[in-house]
Amino acid sequence: MNRPGRAVLYVLAGVALLASTFVLPGWHLDDDVYRYEAVEVSHDGAGVTAHYVETGADAPLSDIDQNLLCLGSIPSRQCELEYALFEGEIETRTSPVDNSRYQYVYLDGHFYEPTYVERANGTFMTHERVPAENVFGAVAVSGARLSADERRVIRSGSMLTYRQLEHANHLVEVDGEYYAILRDATRRDVGDGGTCVSDGDGFCQTANRKRWTDSLLTAAVVVAGLGALLAGLRRRPFGDE
């Protein structure tokens, strides 16, 4: 191949390499890393259950959706107050807690909606039972609203990412099945130091390795692209005498 022909190939290769950086991970040495895991959620006569998509192991219920109170084995102050109201241990004309952050409470294996009842001596807080399928349908985010990364988590079961997912800790509905996307580990750098929160399962090392691998790969492609482009331009492909 003649010299002008080789020069054109160098230029084209350089342009292609530089263009590929738009689909490469990018430079992330200073970025936070998050791990998300998908949980399949179901309900039947025995109650609500959740299992990790990737392993099939039981998953915690407490973080499935902020609209559902009292799911899981760790009671919150709000949940304890709702239980006390439900059991008749307290009586109140106003909500015992600010329930603007949740729509339903899960009490004794059933879902209830906080509501009010009119009595001769005033208006009092109470609970109205709601079928589980109605609750799931009311709070679940449609699969059509999920981002590409969120759909990827549900398909694969887990994912490491540099972006926070909008619908994490929300019930979502995909093809008639219900899931939740849980963020269960975070690697964050602040100034000269950083923090890593995980269950001690090797995430911190994996997150660091991901940042270095993605960043160095991107840097290598940029350097190679610039090198090929400069090599092509030096060969003067457009007007040799």
Q: What is the mean pLDDT of the chain?
A: 81
Q: Are strands 141-142 and 122-130 parallel, antiparallel or unpaired?
A: unpaired
Measured over all CA atoms, what is the biggest interatomic distance in the chain, rounded to whole angstroms?
A: 104
Other CB atoms within 10 A of residue 36 CB: 24
Please, which pLDDT band fits residue 218 given cuts at 50, 70 and 90?
confident
* CA nearest neighbour of 71 among 125, 79, 83, 181: 79
**How far apart (Å, rounded) are the C-alpha atoms in residues 205 and 66?**
30
| Residue 228 C-alpha from the chain's centroid | 39
Q: Give the tens place of pLDDT for each residue, 34-43.
A: 889 999 999 9
CB 207 within 8 A of CB 33: yes
pLDDT in tens, 9-59: 777 777 777 777 666 666 656 678 888 999 999 998 778 999 999 999 999
- Asked if residue 192 lies in contact with residue 204, where contact means CB atoms within 8 angstroms, the answer is no
